[in-house]
């Protein structure tokens, strides 16, 4: 089932909206305008408006893949909110462009820099225009938080459009990341040359590569088919929080796709330990893109939007050491919760997520609306 079918099969309404970014990408938003018990007419709304943005290699479905009373998308809708689910450029739902095709190299010439610069503001401006709301709540997971940290550090006007930024597994600087990305990061230039030589610009890991990674990096107790899924390889796996009966659903929808350049940007960030823009590999190329010889840093101290942080001590990608460096730079943290034993994927699929995390989010949104 696709995202629309996941929503309607559980008895919820679904609208598909398409947003064109300034650089020509056509992004698919799924909207759950109301829950099962509360109904509103389409269009203008007085309810809290929420945009939920997925992480690396994922899609809007990650907020829909558990049972209705366990999935963030449905829980927010049943709590009386107008829920919008984002899909980043290049994933399964956002593979269209005004002039380019996925077979074109230029189609994949972007990283999370462009998601932050183009995708996030385009979605928010569209949602505000359609609903008539003055502000939205933005909930990001993983890369979804990175987009927000990046854009809000550079866009004072966007700060005014967001009444609350909920950061699940917050990612900015990733110098202490764990797992395969940490191992391969020092060889990012060689990997880039390898993909470029083969003419591969979309990140779709080869089965043999996955099998090798599984053999060398995966816990022996974890089923082989899970180890060979790149999302679990990169993020780790938590038996205690995972409903094993839902795992085939997770694997069926993930990974949802991204660009090689995006993965390389993460590798660069691991190597530098800095929250900065994509490095084009030479002083000349960086000068051409940025008018300086090195990639510009993102300055998160400039963010004005109220922020709620949700972290986990076992998180491979939003490592506690990296989060501890980020935290003092954020001047408007209104809530900060570390959930014991949680890892990166527990924020979207954890069996205890409704009690440990989502009820707090609903309470925060209620407070910010008053």
Residues classed as catalytic: 142, 315, 344
Q: Over the chain, what HEC string results? A: CCHHHHHHCCCCCCEEEEEECCCCEEEEEEEECCCCCCCCCCCCCCCCEEEEECCCCCCHHHHCCCCCCCCHHHHHHHCCCEEEECCCCCCCCCCEECCCCCCCHHHHCCCHHHHHHHHHHHHHHHHHHHHCCCCEEEEEECHHHHHHHHHHCCCHHHHHHEEEEEEECCCCCCCCCCCHHHHHHHHHHHHHHHHHHHCCCECCCCHHHHHHHHHHHCCCCCCHHHHCCHHHHHHCCCCCCCCHHHHHHHHHHCCCCCEHHHHHHHHHHHHHCCCECCCCCCHHHHHHHHCCCCCCECCHHHCCCCEEEEECCCCCCCCHHHHHHHHHHCCCEEEEEECCCCCCCHHHHCCCHHHHHHHHHHHHHHHHHC
- Please name the residues in contact with 181: beta carbons below 8 A apart, sequence gap of 6 or more: 234, 266, 267, 270, 317
Gap between the terminal Cα atoms of the chain = 38
Q: Residue 51: which of 129, 165, 134 has the closest Cα?
A: 165
The residue behind tokens 């938003």 is 29
Two tokens, residue 169: 């597994």
């Amino acid at each position: 089932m696709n995202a629309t079918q996941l929503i309607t099969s559980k008895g919820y309404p679904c609208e598909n909206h398409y947003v064109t970014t300034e650089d020509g990408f056509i992004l698919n938003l799924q909207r759950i305008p109301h829950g099962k018990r509360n109904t509103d007419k389409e269009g203008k709304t007085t309810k809290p408006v929420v945009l939920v943005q997925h992480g690396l290699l994922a899609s809007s479905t990650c907020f829909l893949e558990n049972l209705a009373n366990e999935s963030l998308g449905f829980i927010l809708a049943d709590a009386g909110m107008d829920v919008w689910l984002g899909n980043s450029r290049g994933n399964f739902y956002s593979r269209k462009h005004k002039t380019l095709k996925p077979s074109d190299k230029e189609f994949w010439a972007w990283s999370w820099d462009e998601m932050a610069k183009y995708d996030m503001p385009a979605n928010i401006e569209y949602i505000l225009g359609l609903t008539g709301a003055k502000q939205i709540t933005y909930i990001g997971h993983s890369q979804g938080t990175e987009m927000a940290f990046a854009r809000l550090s550079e866009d004072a006007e966007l700060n005014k459009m967001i009444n609350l930024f909920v950061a699940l597994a917050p990612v900015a600087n990733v110098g202490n990341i764990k797992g395969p990305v940490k191992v391969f990061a020092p060889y990012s230039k060689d990997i880039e040359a390898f993909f470029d030589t083969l003419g591969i610009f979309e990140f779709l890991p080869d089965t043999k590569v996955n099998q090798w990674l599984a053999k060398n990096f995966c816990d022996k107790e974890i089923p082989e088919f899970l180890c060979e899924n790149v999302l679990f390889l990169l993020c780790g796996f938590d038996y205690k929080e995972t409903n094993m009966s839902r795992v085939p659903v997770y694997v069926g929808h993930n990974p949802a796709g991204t660009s090689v350049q995006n993965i390389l940007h993460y590798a660069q960030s691991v190597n530098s330990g800095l929250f900065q823009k994509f490095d084009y590999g030479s002083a000349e190329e960086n000068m051409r893109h940025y008018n300086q010889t090195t990639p510009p840093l993102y300055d998160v101290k400039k963010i004005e939007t109220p922020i709620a942080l949700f972290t986990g001590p076992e998180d491979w990608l939003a490592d506690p050491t990296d989060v501890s460096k980020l935290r003092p730079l954020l001047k408007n943290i209104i809530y900060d919760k570390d959930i014991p034993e949680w890892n990166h994927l527990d924020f979207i699929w954890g069996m205890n997520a409704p009690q440990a995390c989502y009820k707090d989010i609903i309470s925060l949104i209620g407070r910010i609306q008053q």
